[in-house]
Structure 1
Amino acid sequence: MSQTLSVVVPVYNESEVLETFHVRLVKVMDELRLPYQVLYVDDGSEAEFLFQLQCLRDSDPRVAVLELSRNFGKEVALSAGLDHATGDAVIVIDADLQDPPELILSFVQEWRAGYDVVYGQRTERRGETAMKRYTAGAFYRLMSVLGDVDIPRNVGDFRLLSRRAVDALNALPERRRYMKGLYAWIGFPQKAVPYVREPRAAGETKWNYWRLWNFALEGITSFSAAPLKMATYLGLLTSTFSLLYGLYFLIRTLLFGNPVPGYPSLIIVVLFLGGVQLICLGIIGEYLARTYQESKGRALYFLKAYHPATSVTDKNDAT
């Protein structure tokens, strides 16, 4: 029996690139001569884009469309796609054409060689500002120091997952999902395939710096308890400094009397201690908020509709 492939594509109002992306993707998938389906996961897009997706499905029987009830975010959309992907291997790719579909050929080759996770690793990030490249590099360096798992640098969601890797991901119960960390956490043989990331083919990115900052916090708090330890050490260091500072004033008073202390120095000490306390409370609050979200046990997502593919056989009928 032939192996089957599923391609999961999370989308959100990608009208300008959808048709071009699908043409390139189908061309690559047909070269593999394996039965496949393409699952577009709509993350609460506008009605106009949904109509475009339905027209694409009507014209290609290998296309399935999964509509979420609202915009849940890309991580949840990816999880929904993995839940509904049925192939022996699942390919995850964005529709903006920054990640070349042609690399899928190399992914499948490495999968056949025995790797469960084959991911694209960016050697160059074209079309991105120097600030974004610097902040991305700083985040990966920070995660390598703080993280409990080794998350590969310059790696996104573009990858191939074997069936047992997909089943492992689907078995994880957590609601606050940082997929790049989960891909690494499940283990299994993994391999990188280098490539040059191109600029967006059309449209604008949905990721601004505020969303990227929150996404970075999600990654750090999901896979590292180091900030909590740092808060403890910071409190210990501050207490030690305050004790030494108090001893200094005690000795100076015994030897030279008790002059009136300066008001500016008092304000500086109070503000410093207050700032340290607020930082530590903020760190604890981030973890507490995530614990609170997990404890409610809400469903990860809800479906508005699921339109399955009518065929998983390629046009060359390779079975």
Structure 2
Amino acid sequence: MLSIIIPCFNEEEAIPLFFEEVEKTKRLIRHDLEYLFVDDGSKDQTLTVIRDLAQRYPDRVRYISFSRNFGKEAALFAGLQTATGDLITVMDVDLQDPPELLPKMIGMIESSDIDCVGTRRADRTGEPPIRSFFARMFYQLINKISDTEMVDGARDFRLMTRQMVDAVLELTEYNRFSKGLFSWVGFKTEYLSYENRERTVGETSWSFWKLFNYSIDGIINFSDAPLNIASFVGALSCLGSGIALIFIILRAMFFGDPTSGWPSMVSILLFIGGLQLLSLGIIGKYIGKIFLETKKRPIYIVKETEKQEER
């Protein structure tokens, strides 16, 4: 069986189009299909549309509905926990992930010893230039400061074996960054490139600010480099202050003690204070992540499933 995990947030228009496109590909796939829609607390009629599909196709359409919006990472984790297939794939419902790649991805896994076939965009056509620039900078930065390699342009759309999915499910951390987790667990992975596609309907819920925060989470979850940078900046600041102090003492001993202007003093104090606040902010980010982990709150809360609907 092939399980298809589809996270959804306000996607009432896209769901029927997605289901139709995957059904067209079904005849090229020799596996039974399991559609697993995860409604991430949508505010529109997404859940109603999913319910209708589950009633029309009870043999292969399942769903989970959250009590509120927990985010895509929670939806991915819930889908992986619930999927029953021998092969599991994650796809966006907006058809930016081409369903026609599925037969080739299945063939690659079945004809070799790889555990995962990932996809990556060959280009970023149609994406705002500023977003493309920061995305490239993020991948360059994370691959320099982290031991976990992340592929530039990689999508969440990937086909995984049950063994790899079980390994990912062992990582029950609250602060999740799936691109990094998929890479961290290892397993042999090959990538397929394809031309970038735009959404079929609707608008993305990922604003620039959300993507920026998501990238910060990725850096913090997979690297302690920011802490090292804060330590280095602090040490450098202390060294510079020590050298300046020695210079002032020697100047006073040999050339007297001329009156210094307060603007330069204020500037130095503001500079040092800024470095301290920056360092505290970096440390605070890590402490905040620790705080969330120690609470042991559930990653998501389920409000409804297709089984409850049947009852």
1:45 is matched with which residue?
42
2:75 is matched with which residue?
77
1:135 is matched with which residue?
134
* 1:94 lines up with 2:56 in the alignment: no
1:317 is matched with which residue?
none
Cα deviation code 1:36-77 (max 9, x no counterpart): 111000000135221111112222231111111111000000
- The Cα shift of 1:114 comes to 2.1
- The Cα shift of 1:200 comes to 1.1
Trace 1:205-244 onto structure 2 (pairs within 5 A): 205-244=204-243
- The Cα shift of 1:300 comes to 1.3
1:30 is matched with which residue?
27
* 1:13 lines up with 2:18 in the alignment: no
Identity of aligned residues (%): 39
Instruction: Kindly indicate whether the alpha-carbon contact (under 8 Å) linking 1:96 and 1:202 is maintained by their aligned counterparts in 2.
Output: yes
In structure 1, distance between residues paired with 2:44 and 2:255: 79
- TM-score of the pair, normalised by structure 2: 0.96
2:55 is matched with which residue?
58
Cα deviation code 1:187-221 (max 9, x no counterpart): 01111111112011111110111111110111001
In structure 2, distance between residues paired with 1:30 and 1:187: 32
Cα deviation code 1:104-148 (max 9, x no counterpart): 122111211221111001111222111111111011011011112
In structure 2, distance between residues paired with 1:174 and 1:150: 19
Q: What amino acid is aligned across from residue 77 of structure 2 in structure 1?
A: S
Runs (4+) of structure 1 exceeding 4 A deviation are: none
1:124 is matched with which residue?
123
- TM-score of the pair, normalised by structure 1: 0.93
In structure 1, distance between residues paired with 2:125 and 2:100: 17
Aligned length: 307
2:105 is matched with which residue?
107
Q: Which runs of 5+ in 1 are unaligned?
A: 309-319
Instruction: Kindly indicate whether the alpha-carbon contact (under 8 Å) linking 1:127 and 1:200 is maintained by their aligned counterparts in 2.
Output: no
Question: Bigger CA drift: 214-223 or 25-34?
Answer: 25-34
Question: Bigger CA drift: 13-22 or 236-245?
Answer: 13-22
Higher relative contact order (Cα pairs below 8 Å, separated by 6+ residues): 1
Trace 1:245-256 onto structure 2 (pairs within 5 A): 245-256=244-255
In structure 1, distance between residues paired with 2:108 and 2:251: 71
1:312 is matched with which residue?
none
Question: Bigger CA drift: 138-147 or 57-66?
Answer: 57-66
